Structure 1
């Protein structure tokens, strides 16, 4: 992960899902956003379209944002050959959308193979871009209202029954503070002063913009933010859109482990860390957390007049990527064999986008 470029990294990760959704608009496929990347499952019949789309997305990310996006397409049969699976369930945070939850160890194995260079799809030539219509990053970072933005990853170690009990306990703890833990305020986020400059960059293929275009874009963004702060209504049923935005945001997920980003008091973050440290000592899990003072929101809005727009949240100072790095360190510290090949393989098999 490029340090200090967290919003760009989030944009590149969400671009994967936006591009595939636009290339296959009538296909409902399970997917998950991981902060600096994304994973999804789709029928093999669409593999040629998906490879072409991902190649174009990688080209867009590198040419426009200067980020290298590694991509791979892996057959489910190869995952099953490892005695693993890709099990999928749906979680509906609202009546408008649902997000996929993955289990079975297949995604973690697939990511390890990607990082080892297997099944790689090369990027498209310079000048070739993906259709990223609907991808948006127009909101300002969302500051904590309760103390810290906590990004949390918990993965299984050993007995699945103990792990399931731990996850249920954590969810009960989070639910007991549910009204205050959502990363977004009830009224929704406010637009950034500078507008959606990343969308401009990734769609034009360049981060450069003329002064006139920059001034016009900033002027529009300033008017939008000022109107929001003063409570002046905008177009396209903005109040309804902002309510749906909060309801549709993906701030908790499960993909071979619990992942969530919440706004909570520092005291509650301390309680969660203490419980997870105890569970790790007991052999029930490995975990990683990261604290920051704000969150970033990346959006995919195919149509602002429909309610099925989706929104991905991550910590504004590293979020899931730094939580995953701390997960790796916890594994190394717990097993006490830092640097061994066996540990490296184990860490790679369960960590997420370090």
Structure 2
């Protein structure tokens, strides 16, 4: 079993990850998996943002289940996801990725692009994929990526290169643990701001790192660095708004109706326990909600910086001024999108453990909409 990712050090200071020296290049024989939803902007305009996020998280959920406990680097992008795997897992990972593509089309009528790209091909093109492990909490860490390789792989995928063969009709991925049960997270300070920052082609790494440091300094003035989830955890309203989508995503051999009834019962019990503070069988629902907040992935390095922030208008204006100055200097490209709520999509292998992961995006398109707003300093 490849031990590369297991041996990477866990890094607890998010700000240090603007330094490229904190990252380790992937082994030459590894693969990068890429995915994104065709027409995601239109789907979001139609109000299908929960579905878009669910499909993006499903890519990761299927890989986690296929990996059977082996840790690997992955990143959630809103309307898709990316990951990396060693060569001995490439075939299994490809099958899981193709299964999600089939499922997304048959269950939700959305086309998911999928590709597996050799790291060697990325390096031959003059890019790289380097990773670091950021410890978000005592039980969860997330991969951070640098080198431009993920962006290159996604661009190649969109051109029809490295695409995977389609799975047979009816192929179902294993999405055990995937859920969408928390209520939308309302902004407490004025707005939920989605921010996407990418280095401009040819920009000096030291200048990009300095810009990221300046951005994190501005964001550092926000409560908990702009974390959109309250420290006590998100609200568990009932019935959950995402019950239909989760039922369609995880019904397996059950009917959608039966799976939805299961979800409604489970979430009702959780809602009661959170509201009353009662503990059943040693399960502390309020403690679980606090852990959800600690484990949530609201900021990441993904060939640049992505953040979903609970932000006041004054801080948003300061942030925009810093970004615009850097754009004009030809250092970065950036996009932002403001909305009133954030969404959380979760992968929970077991509610008895604290290693569950939670992906946050803006509720009105978030990262997808920010990407459409990117302004280029070279334009």
Shorter-chain TM-score: what band? 0.7 to 0.9
Which of 140, 164, 183 does residue 183 from structure 2 map onto? 140
Q: Which residue of 2 aligns with 1:70?
A: 113
| Distance in 2, Cα, partners of 1:297 & 1:56 | 23
1:83 aligns with 2:126: yes
Displacement of 1:224: 4.0
Instruction: Check whether the contact 1:64–1:207 (CA below 8 A) recurs between aligned residues.
Output: no
Q: Deviations over 1:128-155 (max 9, x none)?
A: 2011001111111111111100110111
Asked whether 1:249 is paired with 2:296, we answer: yes
Q: Distance in 1 between matches of 2:71 and 2:184?
A: 30
Partners of 2:81 and 2:175 in 1: CA distance: 15
Alignment of 1:50-61 (within 5 A): 50-61=93-104
Question: Which of residues 173, 179, 203 is equivalent to 2:218?
Answer: 173
Q: TM-score, normalised by structure 2?
A: 0.82
- Conserved in 2, the CA contact under 8 Å of 1:146 and 1:180? no
For 1:31 and 1:215, the matched residues in 2 are separated by 32
Count of residues in correspondence between the two structures: 331
Query: In the alignment, which residue of structure 2 is the partner of 1:307?
Result: 354
Tell me: CA distance 1:206–1:131, structure 2 relative to 1, closer, same or farther (3 Å): closer
Q: Which residue of 1 aligns with 2:163?
A: 120
Distance 1:226 1:126, change over 3 A: same
Deviation, 1:278, is: 1.3
Contact 1:147 1:265 in 2 (8 A): yes
Q: In 1, are the aligned partners of 2:59 and 2:97 still within 8 Å (CA)?
A: yes
Tell me which stretches of 4 or more aligned residues in structure 1 moved more than 3 Å: 205-210, 212-235
- Structure 1 position 16, deviation (Å): 0.8
Distance 2:77 2:137 in 1: 20
Q: Does 1:283 align with 2:330?
A: yes
**Structure ranking higher in strand proportion:** 2
In 2, are the aligned partners of 1:63 and 1:206 still within 8 Å (CA)? no
Aligned residue number for residue 13 of structure 1 = 56
Cα distance, 1:181 vs. partner?
1.6
* Matching of residues 1-354 of structure 1 within 5 Å: 1=40, 2-3=43-44, 4-157=47-200, 158-179=203-224, 181-195=226-240, 196-204=243-251, 209-210=256-257, 217-218=263-264, 221-222=267-268, 224-225=270-271, 227-229=273-275, 231=277, 233=279, 236-327=283-374, 330-331=375-376, 334-336=377-379
Separation (CA, whole Å) in 2 of partners of 1:213 and 1:206: 9
Question: Contact 1:201–1:207 at 8 Å: present in 2 too?
Answer: no
For 2:262 and 2:253, the matched residues in 1 are separated by: 17
TM-superposition CA deviations, 1:246-265 (whole Å, max 9, x none): 11100010011010101011
Give the corresponding residue for 1:350: none
Cα deviation digits, residues 329-350 of structure 1 (max 9, x gap): x12xx444xxxxxxxxxxxxxx
TM-score, scaled relative to structure 1: 0.87
Cα deviation, residue 177, structure 1: 2.1
Deviation of 1:75 (Å): 0.4
Question: What's the RMSD between the two structures over aligned residues?
Answer: 2.1
In 2, the alpha carbon distance for the partners of 1:26 and 1:180 equals: 31
Per the TM alignment, residue 173 of structure 1 is displaced from its structure 2 partner at its CA by 1.7
Long gaps (5+) in structure 1: 337-354
Distance 1:40 1:239, change over 3 A: same
Q: Secondary structure at the match of 1:107?
A: helix
Q: d(CA) in 1 for partners of 2:125 and 2:359?
A: 31
CA contact (8 A) 1:55 1:122 kept: yes
Q: CA deviation at 1:225?
A: 3.4
Q: More displaced, 72-81 or 54-63?
A: 54-63
Q: Kindly tell me: are residues 215 and 111 of structure 1, through their superposed partners in 2, closer, same or farther at Cα, counting changes over 3 Å?
A: closer
